[in-house]
Chain A
Amino acid sequence: MIQLSQVSKEYPGRGKALDGVSFRLEKGEFAFLTGHSGSGKSTTLGLIHQADTPTSGEVVACGFSSKHTSHREVWKLRRRVSYIFQDFRLLPGRTALENVTFALEVTGTPRRELSSRGNRLLAQVGLAVKSGLQVHELSGGEQQRVSIARALANDPLALLADEPTGNLDERASRGIMELFRDLNARGMTVLMATHDLELVRAYPGIRVLELTEGRLVYDSRAPAVEGA
């Protein structure tokens, strides 16, 4: 499903952000990607989503290789692998529903189906009753749910989440985690970057990949992180 083989990423003047990272996520797997700020978590997710290309090595996600997918073909990958940000990246001045239908529309959903499909996606993340509210009227947790609903617009096979609970309180974070677990239970592969070890410890059954200074230093189950 997602495979990194000896992936390195170097930025001119900033040194190596990633250094020979290799791991594989199977279809339907859930994994945390942990590490301190600057350890390379966002770079890893960005390379999987092909927002950038590795300096060396190869990233393959849902059959799309970083070596063979051109800039113009990235959209095909992004309809199979969705991405969620810490800061939600919702469009201001639009309602929750409009944010979701925007994603549906730009990926080719017929206009007559936009509203019903958008509402269905919002219902899936527990926001059916707030679909008409402007995004600034929603709490942080609710905004993140809207961004998840948007990420589900293309019915993706995998979800990449970059510190999705970073701006949320504990209760909202738990709610988002439960949503991810639910999606994962339905067969979606989830890779979630977080520096919140408390959250990681709360889900001991989930695989953990730990990065330190761009190197993968740990690949194990959550309890082992305590000893890392």
Chain B
Amino acid sequence: MHAIREALAAIRRAPLLTALSAAMVALALFVVGLFAVATYNLHEALSRVEERVEVVVYVRDDVMEAELQLLEEDLLEMEEVLGVRYLSKDDALAQAREDLPEFEELFMNLEVNPLPASVEVELRPGFRGPASVARVADRATIYPFVDDVRFGREWVDRLHLLRRMGGIATAVLGTAFGVVAALIIATAIRIALFARREEIYVMRLVGATHGFIRRPFLLEGALTGLLGGILAAVLTYVSHLAVSRLIFPLEWIPLEWMVAGIAAGGLFGLVASAFAIRRYLREV
């Protein structure tokens, strides 16, 4: 109770310092928030593109139905494969006509159907990366009646690289700005400690425990961090709304991300205060 009372009293005693600290923390976490929004949208966009990743197995014209069935069953047994769909030569031509109406005349004049039959392999979510795709393609290739396997290797590789780069950039920048937020809180707590050095000195003099002295400052740091986190969440949401309405539509981050961001603000505040107090108590 004393810790809560003292922490709130400290905030009341120096509202400007608390407000400035929270604002600075909010700005640092705001940058993290913007990156979170960007990463989430990139992630979603890549996921939508990835949904279209599939492996197409082209088979020879003389393939027998039993052989095709064997291939399909074999592929369906793989954990990466969600489903298979056989596309006969006629189906392929019909689809080409539908997809490429500008070549209708050309298709009409064909004496023989040049398009091969194929098996389209749909992949499970989470198995659309380069390694999974290559595994499925390799399995199909071992059948002698398979002419070719296509899955856009370069395209899949680039997609994967883009996703990894997005993740790394967010992790690095998130950590960097998280550290900035922690340093800001530590500095604010040092100022608060300095402002109350006489009180702390007397506390130590009369025999207050370290924990008793520390708790209000830990709480103050955590509250400042939480306040900064909430401010950052509001700023990020407003920016997201502005971009969505004025430039291009963006999706808002999941609630768990936002809660984690605010909690991270509180945690940074707590840890930063703990370090600042630890050093200070050794000095007085």
Question: What are 25 of the A-B contact pairs (CB < 8 Å)?
Answer: A71-B282, A72-B210, A75-B208, A75-B209, A75-B210, A78-B207, A79-B206, A89-B198, A89-B201, A91-B198, A91-B199, A92-B198, A102-B202, A105-B2, A106-B202, A106-B203, A106-B208, A106-B212, A106-B213, A107-B206, A107-B207, A107-B208, A108-B212, A153-B206, A154-B207
Tell me how far the C-beta of A19 lies from the nearest C-beta in chain B, rounded to whole angstroms: 27
Seen from chain B, the residues whose Cβ lies within 8 Å of a Cβ on chain A are 2, 198-199, 201-210, 212-213, 282
Select from chain B the residue with minimum beta-carbon distance to A104: B206
Q: Given A78-B204, A91-B202, A102-B202, 11 other A-B contacts at CB below 8 A?
A: A75-B210, A76-B207, A79-B206, A89-B198, A91-B199, A92-B198, A106-B212, A106-B213, A107-B207, A150-B202, A153-B206
A30 at the interface (CB under 8 A from B): no
Give Cα distance in the complex from A167 to B201, angstroms. 21
Tell me how far the C-beta of B12 lies from the nearest C-beta in chain A, rounded to whole angstroms: 15
Q: Chain B residues with Cβ under 8 A from A154's Cβ? A: 206-207
Interface residues of A in 50-94 (CB under 8 A from B): 71-72, 74-79, 82-83, 89, 91-92
Q: Chain A residues with Cβ under 8 A from B203's Cβ? A: 106
A-B contact count (CB 8 A): 47
Give Cα distance in the complex from A92 to B199, angstroms. 10
Tell me how far the C-beta of B89 lies from the nearest C-beta in chain A, rounded to whole angstroms: 83
Q: Chain A residues with Cβ under 8 A from B199's Cβ? A: 91, 102
Chain A at the B interface: SS class: helix
The 3 lowest CB-CB distance pairs between A and B, nearest first, are A78-B207, A79-B207, A106-B208
Give Cα distance in the complex from A154 to B202, angstroms. 13
Tell me how far the C-beta of B193 lies from the nearest C-beta in chain A, rounded to whole angstroms: 15
Give Cα distance in the complex from A103 to B206, angstroms. 6
| B202 engages A78 (CB within 8 Å) | no
Q: Chain B residues with Cβ under 8 A from A92's Cβ? A: 198
Q: Chain B residues with Cβ under 8 A from A72's Cβ? A: 210
Tell me how far the C-beta of A153 lies from the nearest C-beta in chain B, rounded to whole angstroms: 6
Tell me how far the C-beta of B257 lies from the nearest C-beta in chain A, rounded to whole angstroms: 39
| B198 engages A106 (CB within 8 Å) | no
Give Cα distance in the complex from A83 to B201, angstroms. 12
Select from chain A the residue with minimum beta-carbon distance to B2: A105
Tell me how far the C-beta of B9 lies from the nearest C-beta in chain A, rounded to whole angstroms: 12
Q: Which of A74, A75, A89 contacts B202 (CB 8 A)?
A: A89
Give Cα distance in the complex from A72 to B199, angstroms. 18
Interface residues of A in 111-127 (CB under 8 A from B): none
Q: Which of B205, B210, B212 contacts A83 (CB 8 A)?
A: B205
Give Cα distance in the complex from A170 to B111, angstroms. 127
| A82 engages B282 (CB within 8 Å) | no
| B202 engages A103 (CB within 8 Å) | yes
